[in-house]
Amino acid sequence: MNIETSLERAGYETIRGWLEQRCAIHYPEHKRDLLHQRLSRVQRAFQLPALSQLAAEVTDANNHEIQMAVIHAASTNHTYFFRETDVLEHFRNNVLPILKNRREIRLWSAACSTGDEVYTLAILIAETLGMEALSRTQILGTDISGPVIERAEAGIFPARHLEQTPDHIRSRYLRPVGIEQFQVTPEIRAACTFRRMNLKSYPYPFRKPFQAVFCRNVLYYFAMKDQIDVIEAIADVTEPNGILFTSVTETMRDMSPRWTYVTSGINRRTGAGG
């Protein structure tokens, strides 16, 4: 029993280290039970009774399927439309007026999960600037998890994801497609693109900079060095004076001179260059 326990502990630490090295997903000691619970789903799916077996499969460079399953299980994908309204109101009242006359509106939702935030941003643009503005809007949503990107592309959501969505917004921009299921309208979906992407893969492969980046409820899952590397890489692809939105519970103060604190969860890109 002691040998088995030791093997399981070593397997857990191998997977935990692999997640941090591969995708900057950091599970501190007090979240051990949470990661165990999430990994157990993968073990059941692939019929691997022991964590040591799962660790051996994950560290096999050729076992892409199990690697992606572990990443998906370890990622936190709880999200919904119109999350953290204070941040969204700042975007609507202070950023959209600046973008109103731009030839192209370019936004990025990093770690977008199932796309709730991406579609929320498109709806805010339609409501604030008019439907015409969507024709010159490009909103990119990226996430490390392939399954959630597939769900985002479909644009179909259960009613529970829309509990914070005003009734008039839901009736205007979402259509019933089944029992307690709603699909985003084609006009909104046309402005949104989704891709799988690892935030730890620097530099980011974008040819044009973004005017605003949303990286909310993400940074606190990363170790401090990875947090700094991510916000530096985001600065590389953000326009001068562009805005980075994080969660109101995440702080970037003193992490990089390339970002200036505006208010809780909101930072402005400084300088004229990289």
Q: Is residue 170 domain-shared with residue 91, that is, in the same domain?
A: yes
Overall domain count for the chain: 2
Specify whether the CB–CB gap between 199 and 146 falls below 8 A: no
Q: Is residue 189 domain-shared with residue 240, that is, in the same domain?
A: yes
Omega prior to 203 cis, within 30 of 0: yes
Q: Is residue 102 domain-shared with residue 46, that is, in the same domain?
A: no
Residue 224 CA to its chain's centroid (Å): 18
Length of the chain: 274
Q: Which tokens is 257 given?
A: 């001179």
Tens of each residue's pLDDT in the chain, 274 residues: 445 588 888 999 999 998 888 776 778 888 888 899 889 988 988 899 999 999 999 988 777 778 878 887 887 656 889 988 888 999 999 999 999 999 999 999 998 999 999 999 999 999 999 999 999 999 999 998 888 899 999 999 999 999 899 999 999 999 999 899 999 999 999 999 999 999 989 899 999 999 999 998 778 777 788 889 999 999 999 999 999 998 766 778 778 999 999 988 899 999 754 4
105 within a domain of the structure (yes/no) = yes
Question: What angle, 0 to 180 degrees and rounded to 10, lies between the N-to-C axes of helices 64-74 and 146-154?
Answer: 70
Residue 62 sits in a domain of what CATH number?
Answer: 1.10.155.10
User: What SS3 state is found at 157?
Assistant: strand
User: What SS3 state is found at 103?
Assistant: coil
Q: Is residue 98 domain-shared with residue 226, that is, in the same domain?
A: yes
Q: Is residue 44 domain-shared with residue 129, that is, in the same domain?
A: no
Q: Is residue 133 domain-shared with residue 66, that is, in the same domain?
A: no
Q: Which tokens is 156 given?
A: 């179909």
